[in-house]
């Protein structure tokens, strides 16, 4: 049975001076006449294992040293500690079985490649140290989110991906259809006849699971979604993708203060989990991608996040000695430049902004007594801007109904949503975290395309 390189690094003394077998991919070979130094990565850890192959011990020494990069080998040998060397131990090979011989034109040779080039070989880039670290962290962060929420009695709910509704009355959507593209069924009036489509009506990809998860909060108290969401936006920024994952917790019997507490608790747990479980990956990214990364993560878990109101934020922005591209006055939606200024320049850490103007927020957010603002919260973080958005939900049926008219939403489509207020309605709140934005924050990566295995953006759908 193979030993994992990860386990060798975790407890080398258990294996020292013993015979171990590993399987992996060759990353580099340096050889002289009598000896070869082969760096092997077995996929279980970001670091390689150095294999020492000696001509006088290996019958196939000639074949081994000629292997192209990324060939696979199975090595059995003795693990020897090397306290003087760069790596803590090395494997003195007694045998090297060649499992697969790679073609010599493997694109990932030793030299450094640009992130842009690596995006074109998304099927190979997880083999680079940078993307190995990023996608390892993606996996661990996802699990940490589940672990925190499950241990805090949140029930995981898979809200639908194909939907007939548009959650926020905003956001361009993708249509889902099985109609013949060249000859779709037509109505008498000459329009596309969606009654002939797969679901008997026009359907779209979800932009948020929030409305559909609220009913579960009114049954299970604390619930969450964690799944893909979609925006067909003509947006070519580093922070937007057409397909991304969101986490949307929803809590009955909770208001805005409990929501703020839960956001902080969840994010601090995730960051601490990564510090505990992805140390080598974070260290690599800190050394090669963003030298502030570890400092920022340590601060995230050790200092409470800042808290201000939207009105105070506007004041701070108006007082700022900065030439913003977009002017600031009470009532405007904050742009990335404003959000980043507050988190980076004013607070130097994550900051909650609460009580936004009701006109710029979604219809379901609860009106505050001042009749101008809603019980909403955004969390702004350095480098990213908005990472989390949440609110207390409007549970008063009459207020919600009036607001839907004001916001020009078709009431009939939201019948079932209004019924949640009619039957068992109560105070409830929730929030949404953009998973990829969180990943940009915890990896230091600058472009959302580099934290998604196969990113989908306008005009591009490889793999």
Q: Is 458 in the site for a copy of itself (CB under 8 A)?
A: yes
Cα–chain-centroid distance for residue 305? 21
* Residue with smaller CB distance to a copy of itself, 139 or 292: 139
Nearer to a copy of itself by Cβ, of 197 and 378: the residue is 197
Residue with tokens 């499950």: 150
Q: Is the separation of the CB atoms in 306 and 351 below 8 Å?
A: yes
Q: Which of residues 363-382 bind a copy of itself (CB under 8 A)?
A: none
Which pair of tokens denotes residue 331?
Answer: 């009532």
Does 116 participate in binding a copy of itself (rule CB under 8 A)?
no
12, 265, 304, 453: which one binds a copy of itself (CB under 8 A): 453
Tell me which residue of 357, 153, 174, 353 sits closest to 253, measured CA to CA.
Answer: 153
Residue 379 β-bridge partners? 352, 388
Token readout for 147 is: 């672990």
Residues 401-440 that bind a copy of itself (CB under 8 A): 416-417, 419-420, 422-427
The binder of a copy of itself chosen from 57, 78, 127, 312 (CB under 8 A): 127
Per CB under 8 A, 252 contacts a copy of itself? yes
Nearest approach, Cβ of residue 97 and a copy of itself (Å): 11
Binding mask 74-113 for a copy of itself (x = CB under 8 A): -------------------------xx-xx--xx------
Cβ closer to a copy of itself: 88 or 184?
Answer: 184
Q: Which window, 76-84, 240-248, 330-338, 363-371, contacts a copy of itself (CB under 8 A)? A: 240-248
Q: Which x/- pattern, by CB under 8 A, does the window 40-59 give for a copy of itself?
A: --xxx---------------
- DSSP code of residue 367: B
The single residue listed with the structure tokens 């559909």 is 212
Q: Which of 89, 148, 230, 363 binds a copy of itself (CB under 8 A)?
A: 230
Count interface residues toward a copy of itself (CB under 8 A): 107
**H or E segment at 155?**
strand 155-156
Q: Measure CA 274 to chain center.
A: 13
Cα angle: 134, vertex 135, 136; to 5 degrees:
95
Does residue 333 contact residue 321 with C-beta atoms inside 8 Å?
A: no
Q: How many residues does the chain have?
A: 463
117: which residues sit within 8 A by CB, 6+ positions away?
A: none
User: In the set 14, 116, 153, 276, which binds a copy of itself (CB under 8 A)?
Assistant: 153
174 binds a copy of itself (CB under 8 A): yes
Please give the sequence-ordered ranges of beta strands (E in DSSP) within 32-71, or none if there are none: 35-41, 49-54
Using CB under 8 A as the binding rule, whether residue 273 contacts a copy of itself is answered as: no
Least spacing, CB of residue 435 vs a copy of itself, in Å: 8
Nearer to a copy of itself, 159 or 268 (CB): 159
2-21 residues in contact with a copy of itself (CB under 8 A) are 2, 4, 6
200 binds a copy of itself (CB under 8 A): yes
Binding status of residue 205 toward a copy of itself by CB under 8 A: yes
Question: Taking the CA of residue 198 as centre, how many other CA atoms within 13 Å lie in the half-sphere pointing to its CB?
Answer: 11
Contact criterion met (CB below 8 Å) for 243 and 456: yes
């Amino acid at each position: 049975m193979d030993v994992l390189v990860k386990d060798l690094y975790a407890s080398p003394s258990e294996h020292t001076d013993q015979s171990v077998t590993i399987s992996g991919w060759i990353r580099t070979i340096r050889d002289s006449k009598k000896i070869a130094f082969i760096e092997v990565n077995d996929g279980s850890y970001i670091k390689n294992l150095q294999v020492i192959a000696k001509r006088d011990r290996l019958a196939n020494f000639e074949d081994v040293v000629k292997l192209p990069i990324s060939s696979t080998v199975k090595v059995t040998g003795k693990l020897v500690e090397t306290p003087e060397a760069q790596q803590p131990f090395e494997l003195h090979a007694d045998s090297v079985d060649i499992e697969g011989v790679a073609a010599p034109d493997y694109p990932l040779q030793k030299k450094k490649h640009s992130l842009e080039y690596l995006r074109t070989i998304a099927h190979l880039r997880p083999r680079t140290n940078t993307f190995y670290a990023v996608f390892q962290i993606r996996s661990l962060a996802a699990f940490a989110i589940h672990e925190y929420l499950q241990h805090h009695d949140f029930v995981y709910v898979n809200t639908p991906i194909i939907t007939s509704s548009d959650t926020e009355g905003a956001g361009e959507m993708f249509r889902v259809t099985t109609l013949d593209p060249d000859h779709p069924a037509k109505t008498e009036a000459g329009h596309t006849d969606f009654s002939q489509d797969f679901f008997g009506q026009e359907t779209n990809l979800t932009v948020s699971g929030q409305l559909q998860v609220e009913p579960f909060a009114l049954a299970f108290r604390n619930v969450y979604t964690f799944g893909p969401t979609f925006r067909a936006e003509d947006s070519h920024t580093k922070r937007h993708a057409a397909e991304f994952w969101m986490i949307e917790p929803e809590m009955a019997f909770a208001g805005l203060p409990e929501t703020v507490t839960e956001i902080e608790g969840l994010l601090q747990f995730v960051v601490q989990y990564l510090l505990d479980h992805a140390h080598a990956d974070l260290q690599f990214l800190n050394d090669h991608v963003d030298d502030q990364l570890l400092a920022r993560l340590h601060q995230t878990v050790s200092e409470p996040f800042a808290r201000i109101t939207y009105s105070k934020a506007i004041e701070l922005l108006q007082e700022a000695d900065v030439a913003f591209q977009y002017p600031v006055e009470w009532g405007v939606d904050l742009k990335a430049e404003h959000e980043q200024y507050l988190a980076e320049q004013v607070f130097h850490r994550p900051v909650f902004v609460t009580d936004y103007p009701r006109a710029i927020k979604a219809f379901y957010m609860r009106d505050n007594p001042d009749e101008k603002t809603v019980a909403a919260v955004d969390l702004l973080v350095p480098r990213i801007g908005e990472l989390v958005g949440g609110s207390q939900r409007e549970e008063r049926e009459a207020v919600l109904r009036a607001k839907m008219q004001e916001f020009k939403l078709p009431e009939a489509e939201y019948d079932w949503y209004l019924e949640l207020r009619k039957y068992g309605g109560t105070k409830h709140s929730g929030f949404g975290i953009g998973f990829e934005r969180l990943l940009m924050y915890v990896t230091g990566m600058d472009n959302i395309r580099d934290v998604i295995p196969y990113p989908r953006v306008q005009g591009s759908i490889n793999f």
